[in-house]
Amino acid sequence: MLRVTLPMLLLLWRQDLVFGVRIVELRVPTHEREGGVALLGCQYDMEGDPLYSVKWYKDGDEFFRYSPNSLPSIMLFKCSGVTVDITRSSNTVVALVNLTQESSGKYSCEVSGEAPAFRMSKKDKRIVIQLLPQSGPRLTGGSDKYFLNDLVVMNCSSPPSRPDAHLKWLINDVPVSRERVFGPWYKISPDRGDALEVTLQLKFYAMPTDFVDGVMRIKCQATIAPMYQRETSSNHNLAIPFTAETSVSNTASDTNDGVALSLGYALYLVSFGLLM
Ligand SMILES: *[C@@H]1O[C@H](CO)[C@@H](O)[C@H](O)[C@H]1NC(C)=O
Ligand SMILES: *[C@@H]1O[C@H](CO)[C@@H](O)[C@H](O)[C@H]1NC(C)=O
C-alpha cells in the first residue's frame, strides 16, 4: 500500500509550482452577436519550459494550432461555426469572424511545453452567440390624443431575435402595472426558424395620473441581456372637451395658449375628480 507522506505531498505541490505551464488568463467573451467578431485571448506563462504548441478547441474539436517550430507556425482545422481570421491571430490571440449560431459553444485553450516533460495546461469558457433585432421595438396602434377614460390600446413588437427580446412598457418613465399588459405573443420569423418576434400589448383606460402636464409619454423597451437594449416612445396629449376649439393644439407655442391649456387641463382634472 502506498503511504502518502507530508514531504511527498509538498514535493508534488512544489513541482507543480515551479515547472507548471500555466494559463494566466483566458479572455473569451461570454456573449457575441451573430455576424460579429470574437477575439479569444490566451495568456500563458511557460515558467521556464520552451513552448511546444498552443491549441484551440471548440466543443473538443481542435480548430487552431500554433507551433513555433513548424512551418507554417499556424495551422487551421475545419470546425463547424468557426471561421478564423489568420491575419489577426497569433500565439496568444485568435480572431473568430462571421459568427453564427453554430459558433456558440465551449472554447478551450491548451498550452504545451517541449519534450521531455510535455507539461500542459488547459482552460475553457463558453460563448453564446445572439441574433440581435435589425431595429428597435416598433409601436402600433394608439392615437395622438385621448380623453380621460378613453381606451388606450397599443402593441410593441421587437423584430426577430434569438433569444427572444424581453419587452417592457413604461408611461412617463414609470413601469406599467401588470393588469394593463397583455401577452407576450411569439411569432416564428418567416426567414429564420430559430428566431422569434415578440409582441406585448398595452391596454387600459386613460386616468388623470397617466398624464404629466397634459402629456402621456408611452415607451416600450426591448432587452436581450447583456448585449442589447433599445426603446421606442410616443407622446399622446390629453384631449380637453370644453376648450377643444381654442387651445388644444399639439403645436401650441404661444404663451397665452400655453396658460389656457394648463388652466383647461387643471379644470378638466378637477371635474373628472368630482365625477369619480
Ligand atoms: C465573412 O463573410 C463575408 C460576407 O458574407 C465574406 O465576404 C467574408 O469573406 C467572410 N470572411 C471570412 C474570413 O470568411
Ligand atoms: C396587437 O397584437 C395582437 C397579437 O399579435 C393582435 O391580435 C392585435 O390585432 C394587435 N393590435 C394592434 C393595435 O396592433
Q: Residues 24-61: pLDDT tens digits? A: 999 999 999 999 999 999 999 988 888 999 999 999 99
What is the structure's pLDDT at 253? 40
Q: Which ligand is nearest to the CA of 186?
A: 2
**What pLDDT, on the 0 to 100 scale, is given for residue 49?**
84
Please give the model's pTM, rounded to 2 decimal places: 0.75
State in Å: Cα 230 to ligand 2 middle: 21
Q: What is the pLDDT of residue 274?
A: 46
Ligand 1 atom closest to residue 97's alpha carbon, by position in its atom list:
13
With a 6 Å cutoff on the Cβ, whether 143 touches ligand 2 is: no
**Residue 259 has what pLDDT?**
44
Top mutation candidate among 37, 98, 102 for ligand 1, by most atoms within 8 Å of CB = 98
The grid cell for 245 is 376649439
The predicted structure's pLDDT at residue 268: 55
Measured in angstroms, how far is the CA atom of residue 189 from the centroid of ligand 1?
24
Mean pLDDT by 10 residues, the chain (276 residues): 50 52 94 96 90 96 96 95 96 97 97 87 96 96 94 97 97 96 96 95 96 96 96 94 54 42 53 49
Predicted local distance difference test score (pLDDT) of residue 5: 55
Ligand 1 atom closest to 85 (CA): 13
pLDDT for residue 25: 95
Q: How far is the CA of 38 from the centre of ligand 1 (A)?
A: 14
List phi, psi (to 5°) of 212.
-120, 115
